[in-house]
Chain A
Amino acid sequence: KAGVTQTPRYLIKTRGQQVTLSCSPISGHRSVSWYQQTPGQGLQFLFEYFSETQRNKGNFPGRFSGRQFSNSRSEMNVSTLELGDSALYLCASSQGAGGTHTDTQYFGPGTRLTVL
C-alpha cells in the first residue's frame, strides 16, 4: 500500500498570507490527524477528521482549520500567517473506527512551512 502523502513538501509565505496544505491518507484509512512540530514545542495535536467530520480539536487558535473530503483526503488551512506558524506540519492516518481512543497512526513526510 502507498503511504501517507503530503503536498507541498516545502512552502514559503509572508506574514498575513494564508496557506492550504493537503494530505492523502493510506488507502482504506478514514481518520486523518494533523500535528504541528516545532523545536520548542515538539509535536502538538491540531485536529482529527473522520468521515468528513471533525471529531477532536487541539489548543490552537481559530486561524487553523481543516476539512476532510469523501475520499478521506484532508486539507488544513492557516489564515493570517504569523512568524510563529513556521513549523513542520504533519498529517497521520489511521483506520479510526474505534471511536474511543486512537488507533496506530502512520505519518506522512510533512510540509515544511516557513513564514517570513
Chain B
Amino acid sequence: SQKIEQNSEALNIQEGKTATLTCNYTNYSPAYLQWYRQDPGRGPVFLLLIRENEKEKRKERLKVTFDTTLKQSLFHITASQPADSATYLCALALYGSSNTGKLIFGQGTTLQVKP
C-alpha cells in the first residue's frame, strides 16, 4: 500500500542545536517533495521544494535532502531557535494528470525548541 510517514509526532531539542526531521514514503514515485511549516490554527506555509533529480536544497538555516533510492527526505534546521517551534509537514507531488493539484501529506512532526 502507499504510505508517507514522518519519523515522529514530536521532537524536542535545545536552542542552537540542529533539528532533523524525516519523511519516508512507500510505493510512490514523486515528481517532487515539499516541506511546509504549520502553526496552530493556521494554514501551512511553504518552505522548500526539492525535485526528484536533486539531492539537496538550502535556504538560509534550512536544508532538505532527497534520496529516491531510500525513498526518504531529511529536513534540517540549523542553529534552531524557539521561534522555529511548529509542526512541519512533508508533501509529495506525483506525476500524471490524475494527480494534478493534489499534494499527499504526511502527518507532520511537531518540533519544540527549548531556550
Contact = CB atoms under 8 A, between A and B. Distances in A.
A6 to B, nearest CB: 8
Contacts of B64: none
Nearest to A58: B102
Nearest to A55: B100
Nearest to A105: B103
B43 A55 contact: no
Contacts of B97: 55, 99-100
Contacts of B108: 42
A43 interface: yes
Contacts of B105: 35, 42-44
30 contacts: A4-B43, A31-B101, A33-B101, A42-B105, A42-B106, A43-B44, A44-B105, A45-B102, A48-B100, A50-B100, A50-B101, A58-B102, A90-B43, A90-B44, A96-B100, A98-B100, A99-B100, A100-B100, A101-B31, A101-B32, A101-B95, A101-B99, A102-B31, A102-B99, A102-B101, A106-B46, A107-B43, A107-B46, A109-B43, A110-B41
The 4 closest A-B pairs by CB, nearest first: A48-B101, A107-B43, A43-B105, A102-B93
Judged by DSSP, the binding face of A is: strand
Given A42-B106, A43-B105, A108 B43 contact: yes
A94 interface: yes
Interface of A: 4, 6, 31, 33, 35, 42-45, 47-50, 55-56, 58, 88, 90, 92, 94, 96, 98-102, 104-110, 112
Contacts of A98: 100
A100 B31 CA distance: 10
